[in-house]
Structure 1
């Protein structure tokens, strides 16, 4: 159901330099570079592009390319043939620098000017801790690495989650960024929205006269949105994760985006502004479904030492590297929400996410109501014992991952 134009229509034509801050981290190796490699294979990158990874570790170009080659072979969803990977990483450079210091930006500017045979557009990807977002953007601007909007070349800055720890810190960060950037230059990234199944939710709902009429409280019993991970604190993520936890790491961005797509009203058109407005409306109507106590609607937990899905012994959360042994940060959280509008009033919305779960999956399960009169039954057998039960209700499942 996806609608994708030809390569010639979608290909970026002008030269582009992509600078990744935090290039030694988990996100770069597991997500960014494999995704860029697949984009390269599909012919969507310009002929003249350079990727510059910036981090504090003491690598050179050859070491960094070798590491990325292994990551691409491991995590690419398209076949990663040796020659194709080698051709791709030839476009990659590594620049050692501590982006918390002003000198790093002057050195980076000199490196870019030396690297860019064809100066053009620049894209800065901030895969760093949130406390560095504003200083990094400020120093990029002061060093002259941010182009003015409307000029011959564009500059864009991509910011990864989390965008603040709460509403006030998010607003403070937004105001700070707008002191140095135009709104058109800021891209607040949620990579879940790039998954094909997620992109197709709106077309599934609003292009189908069969399903849209039954997406409401009269026909739907409840909705479950699950993001389960089998991993723990790999690639040194403990320090970041212990500060934010499962709620801020997954729920306030990824899961709420999925909730919006499956519950929002139809936008007037498919422009970013129209979709944004409908998301805001449904979020404003969304509340914790507290019956008596907050514990009725929220469950938090941490994984303990044990065996993973492959039978290997793994540490408990409190034994992980860079985790405070007294930490009460959650590695699992489940919420029951309600949406106080005409379409969804009374329909429980269940969100849950966690680390070290039995299997890796991200899915949206829409469970429909049972008919008011059950005319049909089914036989269920357990070994030699059989029983007559009601037919289970219908469910609609959006399987986001595994793909």
Structure 2
């Protein structure tokens, strides 16, 4: 890490992993190195760092909990980063509640507010706050910024935002927020680079399909609906999250099995989705490898694709048509078989894939006959954080 350069550090803290990227501010936000700490809470975690000069290095670490994971990262930062060259640190924050709409510099008031709304997202917010506080203690003179995944969906109309419960709760900030906003912001930015201002007239569905999965319907360049709701557990079937459920399920399990609120939240966030249906794994590639001999693996794949297909049809109805479909996220970007299964029987909507382009994970995978343009775009949430830091510091990017 050269000492004569200025850098931004972005941190993307998830429930089971923490990603970070170091950007060279002097060279149009060029990534200098990136890393990912995975396996949080498992017997063996790993820290994989990809340096533009030294290549990729993976190290086994101890990270039984989030506190240990944060300690591992801080020690690595101290040993390998020139702290004096860091101009700012930026974080992805999953939930901003109803108070924060735009990127913010970290203050005591902001941390107090985030702590107060942790019931809205107990899976992510506590760890994200812990990261911010640890970095503030270790590097007190470096500014920290937070970017909210909920920001992108501020344009949701009330018809999509309201939950069908007593309005009293809406006034208390209980409504559909939507998430994966930084990913969707990047996808729209990339579409604009390829298509120009015409995307503002297009009817678009963005599908972020990974361990966390959601879709967003875009009209006039703005989000008009999205599958995740008050929390990131709602919507599509995900790796370990259930997606939408019958609201009577908790009452049933509480009465019949004495299931507590905490046990229910653990079940729907960590034991459901692909893992729950298959009983073996939340990894889509592993499910594809075993599905010929494992009926439960096949059913997990089928439910995932069926729910995604059904949602595309629903959003085409909400948009009044469809011009563009974008696949992103770990599954959406890399698993051609899943994209193909989702798009099967959607020719009546004008969606038709080119088999060879789809197998290649090409940028555009729709056939020449397709009335809907289908894209595969690798998302980059970290770059959106770095761009926000540039904006607030009045730097060009």
Q: Normalized per residue, which structure has more helix? A: 2
Question: TM-score w.r.t. structure 1 length?
Answer: 0.38
Question: TM-score w.r.t. structure 2 length?
Answer: 0.38
